[in-house]
Amino acid sequence: MGVTLKQVIKNLDAFPRAEEHLLHKTQSGALVSVIGIVIMATLFLHELGYYLSTYTVHQMSVDLKRGENLPIHINMTFPSLPCDVLSVDAIDMSGKHEVDLDTNIWKLRLNSYGHIIGTEYISDLVEKEHTHHKHDHDKDHHEDSEQKIHLQTLDESTENTIKKVKQALTDGEGCRVYGTLDVQRVAGNFHISVHGLNIYVAQMIFGGAKNVNVSHIIHDLSFGPEYPGIHNPLDDTTRILHDTSGTFKYYIKVVPTEYRYISKEVVPTNQFSVTEYFSPMKDHDRTWPGCFYSFVFEVGVFLG
């Protein structure tokens, strides 16, 4: 009798089929099989997830970058100050003073409920503020008589501005300032205040520095693009003043950072830490309130 192909293949099986008396099926055996399959599937998925997951490695190095610009992203709300009185100034360590002439900053007028009622591009206002500053520096206002003459010769446009701002204050208008400041990569500061106003105009609007309420909400403040897991300590910070006035000062240490993806893409950015200080107004103070943000750079660069 010839040997069939089926028999030849069966003879190649190293593990012959179990005999019938060994194939006794039970519910407990099925349960053990199911549990075993579940455990194996769980372990497989866990190992697969671990293989596909990424983690961040932190390293420090010396920062060799110099002479580059630093983008500062700001998004803040001043609920008690109209947009017409707010200005954003930047000063670096060399003494260079920039009054928003080359920045991309916008101001949104807000009503007393925080809803947007108008938009202004801040550079349009800066030129007017710059003109006021120049006009002030060209004259000597130390004598009381000259101060009175100056107040009496305010032009019609300035008087209209004063009326407009006073009405905005009465209506409870606020202002949202947002955009990007491009400054040099050296120690410096920027501040948001009413310093752009002519000092006599500010006096007529507020009746004194103690009446300037610089309450503010910092929605976002960052020194460069974001990357996964970044934490900006001043985001969603709220500082509200009641029956007082003063100056907020934020001392910021900026740490240059490079975030490298697995794809080798590099995101150059910055992290920072901050120390906050509030200086209340005193009767003899001659300065006007504001929000000051002073920053310095660490010598190292953080690699992640």
DSSP letter string, 119-178: EEEHHHHHHHHHHHHHHHHTS---SHHHHHHHHHT--HHHHHHHHHHHHHHHTT-EEEEE
Lowest mean pLDDT among 35-44, 91-100, 167-176: 91-100
With cut-offs at 50, 70 and 90, classify the pLDDT of residue 174: very high
* Residues forming beta bridges with residue 191, ordered by sequence position: 89, 292
Note the pLDDT of residue 134. 44
Place of tokens 């961040």: 56
User: In this predicted model, what pLDDT tens digit does every residue of 182-215 receive, in sequence order?
Assistant: 888 888 899 999 887 878 888 888 888 889 999 9
The answer on pLDDT for 152 being more than 70 is no
The answer on pLDDT for 137 being more than 70 is no
Note the pLDDT of residue 129. 43
> Given CA atoms 221, 224, 225, 226 in this order, what sign does their dihedral have?
negative
Q: Percentage of the chain surpassing pLDDT 90?
A: 29
Look over the chain and give the mean of its residue pLDDT values, rounded to a whole number.
79
The answer on pLDDT for 82 being more than 70 is yes
In 83-113, which positions are buried (b, 16+ CB within 10 angstroms) versus exposed (e)?
Answer: bbbbbbbbbbeeeeebbbeebebebbbbeee
The answer on pLDDT for 15 being more than 90 is no
Residue pair 275/38 in contact (Cβ under 8 Å)? The answer is: no
Place of tokens 């372990």: 43
Note the pLDDT of residue 3. 64
Higher-confidence residue: 240 or 136? 240
The answer on pLDDT for 266 being more than 70 is yes
Residue pair 215/239 in contact (Cβ under 8 Å)? The answer is: yes
Among candidate residues 212, 290, 208, 269, the one with its CA nearest the CA of residue 65: 269
The answer on pLDDT for 106 being more than 80 is yes
The answer on pLDDT for 161 being more than 90 is no
Note the pLDDT of residue 136. 46
Structure tokens at 56: 């961040």
